[in-house]
Amino acid sequence: MTDNAVIVGAGVVGLATAHRLAQDGLTVTVVDAARAGAAGASVHNAGWIVPIMSTPVPAPGMLGKALRWMARRDSPLYVRPSPRPEHVRFMINMLRHCNPRAFAHGVEALTSLNERTLELFDEYEKDGIRFEHHRVGQLLAFTTRHTMEEYRAATAPMERIGHTAVPRTGDELRDLEPALGKQVLAGLHCPQERHVDPASLVKGLEDRCRELGVRFLYDSPVTGVGTRGRTVTSVLAGGDEVPGDLFVLAAGVHTGPLSRLAGHPLPIRPGKGYGFDDTSGAVNLRHSVYLGEAKVAVTPLSNRLRFAGTMEFGSSDATIDRHRLRGIADAAHTYLPDFPLEPQPQGWTGLRPMTPDGLPVVGPLPGKDNVLVASGHSMLGVTLAPVTADIISGEVSGDRPSADIARPFDPGRFAPQRRRSPAGG
């Protein structure tokens, strides 16, 4: 019988899990290394709720793109050369998944996982969680018809869960969003997609958790794990021992080192993103807009326009490469000509928890009877937080209606004897 759950990580995934387990009647403690309200990538992201983007990052052709872009310091995808063995191993493993079979498997798994996403966000509101939530749809804008067609084909599998991408001409897109410039020649309109203010979602979840009696320990980095055989008995957090019957590792990019402490290292590595917030009012949008070729997300929030993009591997701190930020601002100006090229915006960064196969890691940690993992959500952590919490709840209660949906995300797929299977041919 599990009464006392300890969740490591107060990002959107840890908080969604805490909320769900508290609803289930468990006594829940959340421990986090940072101070309150400073959750890593969970506040620094584009805030899109996008089942239409149920695609893993490793994709056929990614290697070619990465190599072409290596020389460009403002490119949307960058693999920083690094001799660190864990980085090299991770990148090689990711390249093994850049094939059509592994990609199709990932799309199928993520699409099924996203089937109830919108319903679960609606349930948040019904439960009294307060957050900035926009149900206005999304536009994908392209400067070539060819790229639009590529994306259109990629979004076809999501039709079966009710998410559609309707082709539009440049002028039709400008009817929906007049700020888009003449360079935009084609696009897709995705009416079911939504966006949130991610910081408001984190705050809303934490507030509701507190109402449900969840205890929070901030400034408490987990540095040790107490064990008895196959059971974890406590974590050492900020120097204090925090006991529990069940432990959930939801520490974003730090879930890798934590899983090592718990006895089974998982390959979760950072994929750094950049962004900035514009409060000038130079550009007004209603929909969230994807600047397709530049891979930049633009999100209209109540008091600002948020720009986010770039996937940088091999970098694990918050330093800002001005060239990458410049790349996002230049793209903004290209697609949205009223966005000024100067001044250079003040940026922020966020570290996405990446896995070599591009799929989240959700379920029991091999070798331990009472440790669950909820991490590795890559570009979709906000979107997938509620359904992740649902799966963890099913694991704890033993009532697992979503067991089939959860199987592709089992942490056991990274156990050494099974390492060959997910990559496919």
Report which of 10, 116, 108 is spatially closest to residue 394, judged by C-alpha positions.
116
Using CA atoms, how far apart are residues 36 and 260, in angstroms rounded to an integer? 26
Q: CB within 8 A of 62, min separation 6: which ones? A: 77, 95, 98
From 45, 93, 155, 192, residue interacting with ligand FAD (rule: CB under 6 A): 45
Q: Binding of ligand FAD at residue 9 (CB under 6 A)?
A: yes
Residue 303 Cα to chain centre, angstroms: 23
Pick the piece of the chain touching ligand FAD (CB under 6 A) from 35-43, 83-91, 323-331, 339-347. 35-43
Q: Binding of ligand FAD at residue 188 (CB under 6 A)?
A: no
User: DSSP letter string over 28-57?
Assistant: EEEE-SSPTT--HHHHSS--EE-GGG---S
Binding-residue pattern over the window 242 to 271 for ligand FAD, x denoting contact by CB under 6 A: --------xxx-x---x-------------
Burial zone of 212 (CB within 10 Å; 0-12 exposed, 13-18 middle, 19+ buried): middle
CB of 175 to ligand FAD, least distance (A): 25
Peptide bond into 60 cis (omega under 30): no
# binding residues, ligand FAD (CB under 6 A) = 42
Burial zone of 294 (CB within 10 Å; 0-12 exposed, 13-18 middle, 19+ buried): buried
Asked if 280 and 340 count as a contact pair (C-beta separation under 8 A), the reply is yes
CB of 107 to ligand FAD, least distance (A): 16
Instruction: Give me 325's structure tokens.
Output: 């930020």
> What residues between 71 and 130 interact with ligand FAD by CB under 6 A?
none
In the complex with ligand FAD, which residue's Cβ is closer, 141 or 297?
297
From 31, 165, 190, 305, residue interacting with ligand FAD (rule: CB under 6 A): 31
What are the distances in angstroms from CA 9 to CA 69, 244, 248, 252, 375? 34, 15, 9, 7, 10
CB of 41 to ligand FAD, least distance (A): 4
CB of 117 to ligand FAD, least distance (A): 9
In the complex with ligand FAD, which residue's Cβ is closer, 76 or 366?
76
Binding-residue pattern over the window 374 to 393 for ligand FAD, x denoting contact by CB under 6 A: -x-xxxxxxx----------
Binding site residues, ligand FAD, CB under 6 A: 8-14, 31-34, 39-42, 44-48, 221-222, 250-252, 254, 258, 273, 275, 297, 308, 350, 352-353, 375, 377-383
